A and B are shown apart, each in its own frame.
Chain A
Amino acid sequence: MNLDAAMLARVQFAFTVSFHIIFPTTSIGLAMFLTVVEGLWLKTRNPVYLQIYRFWLGIFAMAFGVGVVTGIVLSFEFGLGFAHFAQIAGPVIGPMIALEVLTSFFLEAGFLGIMLYGLRRVGPRLHFFATCMVALGTLLSASWILSANSWMQTPDGVAMQNGRLVVTDWLKVIVNPSWLYRLPHMLTAAYLTASFLVAGVGAFYLLRRKHTLFARKSVSIGMAFAAILIAGQVFIGDILYSTMLKHQPSKMQAAEGFWERQSQSPAPYYWVIIPDQAHQRNRVAFGIPYLGSIWLTHSLHGRVEGLKSTPRDRQPAMGMVFYGFRIMYGIAILMFAVAVASLWLRWHGGLFTTRWFLRSLVIMAPSGIVATLGGWYLAETGRQPWVIFGLLRTVDAVSPVPSGTLLSTLIAFIFVYAFLMTAFLIFVFRMIRRGPEAAPDHAEASASLKNALRLLESPTANAVLGR
């Protein structure tokens, strides 16, 4: 790898954006989960829902905070590392991100304070409204940023005039060919992430026979959502696959790990390869025979298109694309298996007592985050060598900043972010270990919920909640 300015700018963006996406993925999912749980509490007044709400609100607050501060970095990084990209594409993605700030960042920020600190001051309905607005904000934010990113994947509605992009049709820019599939794909990913997190923490308590009622509800709600969502996700993913095959064949060629224009017949489904980009071949390749033909061509002997179908100067690096895809897809298969098992166990009344299942839920708790990262590596490295597919190459987009400066700031980012991640994980694990009763004060639900909270802390509630 050559450490020139272009490479350093890319590594810096990749590092900061990868770190960032972990937190919004979590908080988009948790915001929706909190909305559901608070809604259930308003409807049933069952204290266990309030207990679940308070516990996850604490973790949500931290994830949201880290997401915000690492997100601010990105809105400047378009220009810090990629000034030429900003200059050419600013008129297109700029207004979209501006609308994201206006319609979603402010909405989240305005109601987050009320959600976290407010409700000695407002009634339970207004508190619920605040939670809904924060969840709506995360959804709108995802919509705008996915629209901007999808436009970079499948640009539409623009014309090149004097080396600048000019918008000719906003509707085509926003509703570009891949947005309609990538947005639900990402939202479902975020909701799956939260489902597995919630279920994983519940399973952890069930294995230790602590906080039983809290834990049962968590596992039950988490796996109910997971089962529905993963079924939807497989379906959406399949449509997205064919959309990208049409618009970005090079990405999907790299994702399947074949080099020859037409693969061997029958095509295996590769799980491990060591690609050799320079010689346009795989040094090592292991896969399941026939499965490639069956999955990708829906026949026993069909051939799959390889990366040599794309001219060399337009090829992405196969390794990153392939493994990004395999990590996402592999985890999706595991999620599907866990979801099926959960339905079976629920049917037979063993959802809360089957220890191997609970253990697998604990292991799967962070699976959504890892799968989402894998998916984004597929999307972003697969788009290379373009930053705007077919319009602007990444190497032509970089800023006139010396590579020494870029390297120093990259190191600074790594140190600060490692510090943030360490603190975040320590506090999350500590919260999980302390358990739901001891959720921190500032995450308390409300004061007008004062009575409900008092009830929650009373001996009767302890008896009801099985403490």
Chain B
Amino acid sequence: MDLPLLSAVFAAFSITMYVLLDGFDLGVGALLLLQPHEAARNHMVDSIAPTWDGNETWLIMTGVTLLAGFPLAYSILMPAFYVPLIVMLLALGLRGASFEFRPQGQRNRPSWDAVFSVGSIVAACTQGLILGGLIQGVTIRGDAFGGSVFDWLRPFPILCAGSVLFGYIVLGGCWLYLKTTEASRHFAERTLWLALPAFLMLFVSACLTAAFTQPEVRAAWKTHTASLATIVGMMALAAIVLFASIGKRSELRPLVAAVSMVGLGIAGLALLIFPDIIPFRLSLWEASASRLSHVFLLSGAVFVTPLVLAYSAFAYWVFRGKTPVKGWEA
């Protein structure tokens, strides 16, 4: 059995879970800055408070799967994205702490909300910068990172940062549309009307720029023309469904459409870079750990992941339906 491939599938699964789940968390966080009413902000935070921790855990899962299964890739990528990673970790830290600190007092709550929001925005942007840096190409010398720590500071990664941020905002808007009522729902509606076109524009320009900055992207388009075109077509369809369902009766449909859209985007990306673990530089087999490491990692992944998904789903089910306007205690 091709164990490295299976570990890579698990890593891809983890990062997809992360983007979809923490995506709407971060999106809701980013939107706090635009919401002037404190009661509405409380409502927004309440809608993600019981489940954010599990969502963020998928990020650790991804990182650690890389460390366990593909130590060479991990040891090249961490120094390559040293600066955006540390900024992301600090931003996530401040944001996570704000979750616990903002209920502690009325007086400072607006400041904590600002920290929360800026932390979410910065985290989303750094993730986009890393994505852009990966596609643009990481410099490897021997079996270590050989570039400069600021290689990611170029126009293309910055464009990706914008796409990721607005992608998360779209997810966050759809989440609020599903979970909140009254004023917050109208707020979500207005957000989606603006954020979705912004996301689509940024995403399309990022795709076009990618083809110019990275010749391998063009090559991949040539080999996978049909499947990539299908994915793009389905994304467009999801976007249209999303547009059409804003303000309509079904409260779940926008979120389903947005999740499909982003999920398809990830699938397209996976198709572009497969079978590389560092895009266009290092294949997953070249970076792989020895067999027993995969055996251990995968036995954990195979036996424990279903359990994790089951009780995570249970946690969502406990907090199903509309978030109470006065918080979970009301």
Binding site for B on A (CB under 8 A): 61-62, 64-66, 68-70, 72-73, 75-76, 78-80, 83-84, 86-95, 97-99, 101-103, 105-114, 116-118, 120-122, 161, 164, 166-168, 170, 399-402, 405, 409, 412-413, 416, 419-420, 423-424, 427, 430-431, 440-442, 444, 447
B54 in the interface, Cβ–Cβ < 8 Å? yes
Q: In the bound complex, do residue A399 and residue B100 qualify as a contact, i.e. CB atoms below 8 Å apart?
A: no
B104 in the interface, Cβ–Cβ < 8 Å? yes
- Rounded to whole Å, the gap between the CB of A465 and the closest CB of chain B is 21
Bound-state CA distance A442–B323 (Å) is: 14
Interfacial chain A residues near B75, Cβ < 8 Å = 79, 83-84, 86-87, 90, 399
Q: In the bound complex, do residue A98 and residue B149 qualify as a contact, i.e. CB atoms below 8 Å apart?
A: no
**Chain A interface SS verdict (over half):** helix
Q: In the bound complex, do residue B145 and residue A400 qualify as a contact, i.e. CB atoms below 8 Å apart?
A: yes
Interfacial chain B residues near A80, Cβ < 8 Å = 78-79, 82, 85-86
The verdict on A118 contacting B328 (CB below 8 Å), with A87-B143, A102-B61 known, is: yes
B89-113 CB mask vs A (1 if < 8 Å, else 0) is 1101111110111011100000000
B6 in the interface, Cβ–Cβ < 8 Å? no
The verdict on A399 contacting B300 (CB below 8 Å), with A73-B89, A75-B64 known, is: no
Interfacial chain A residues near B85, Cβ < 8 Å = 76, 80
- Rounded to whole Å, the gap between the CB of A70 and the closest CB of chain B is 6
Contact of A170 among B50, B99, B100, B292 (CB under 8 A): B292
Interfacial chain B residues near A441, Cβ < 8 Å = 103, 327, 329
B280 in the interface, Cβ–Cβ < 8 Å? no
- Rounded to whole Å, the gap between the CB of A79 and the closest CB of chain B is 3
Contact of B71 among A94, A114, A121, A122 (CB under 8 A): A94
Q: In the bound complex, do residue B68 and residue A97 qualify as a contact, i.e. CB atoms below 8 Å apart?
A: yes
Contact of B78 among A64, A70, A399 (CB under 8 A): A399
Q: In the bound complex, do residue A98 and residue B79 qualify as a contact, i.e. CB atoms below 8 Å apart?
A: no
Interfacial chain B residues near A84, Cβ < 8 Å = 75, 144
Q: In the bound complex, do residue B68 and residue A95 qualify as a contact, i.e. CB atoms below 8 Å apart?
A: yes
**Chain B interface SS verdict (over half):** helix
When A and B form their complex, what is the total count of cross-chain residue pairs whose Cβ atoms lie within 8 Å? 246
Q: In the bound complex, do residue A105 and residue B57 qualify as a contact, i.e. CB atoms below 8 Å apart?
A: yes
Interfacial chain A residues near B144, Cβ < 8 Å = 83-84, 400
Chain B residues numbered 43-69 whose CB sits less than 8 Å from any CB in chain A: 49-51, 53-54, 56-57, 59-61, 63-65, 67-69
The verdict on A416 contacting B67 (CB below 8 Å), with A99-B300, A118-B319 known, is: no
Q: In the bound complex, do residue A106 and residue B54 qualify as a contact, i.e. CB atoms below 8 Å apart?
A: yes
- Rounded to whole Å, the gap between the CB of A150 and the closest CB of chain B is 17
Q: List 29 A-B contacts (CB under 8 A).
A: A69-B93, A69-B97, A72-B92, A75-B60, A79-B77, A84-B75, A86-B67, A89-B71, A94-B71, A95-B297, A99-B297, A102-B301, A105-B60, A110-B315, A111-B315, A113-B54, A118-B328, A120-B329, A167-B292, A400-B145, A400-B146, A401-B79, A413-B86, A413-B90, A416-B90, A416-B93, A420-B93, A427-B105, A441-B329
Bound-state CA distance A412–B83 (Å) is: 11
Bound-state CA distance A89–B51 (Å) is: 33
B72 in the interface, Cβ–Cβ < 8 Å? yes
Q: In the bound complex, do residue B79 and residue A83 qualify as a contact, i.e. CB atoms below 8 Å apart?
A: yes
Contact of A65 among B54, B97, B297 (CB under 8 A): B97
B74 in the interface, Cβ–Cβ < 8 Å? yes
Bound-state CA distance A11–B15 (Å) is: 30
Q: In the bound complex, do residue A75 and residue B297 qualify as a contact, i.e. CB atoms below 8 Å apart?
A: no
User: Told that A109-B312, A121-B328 touch, could you supply 19 new A-B pairs with CB distance under 8 A?
Assistant: A68-B96, A75-B63, A76-B63, A79-B74, A79-B77, A80-B82, A94-B64, A94-B69, A98-B300, A99-B300, A106-B312, A109-B53, A110-B308, A114-B315, A121-B318, A167-B293, A400-B144, A409-B83, A427-B101
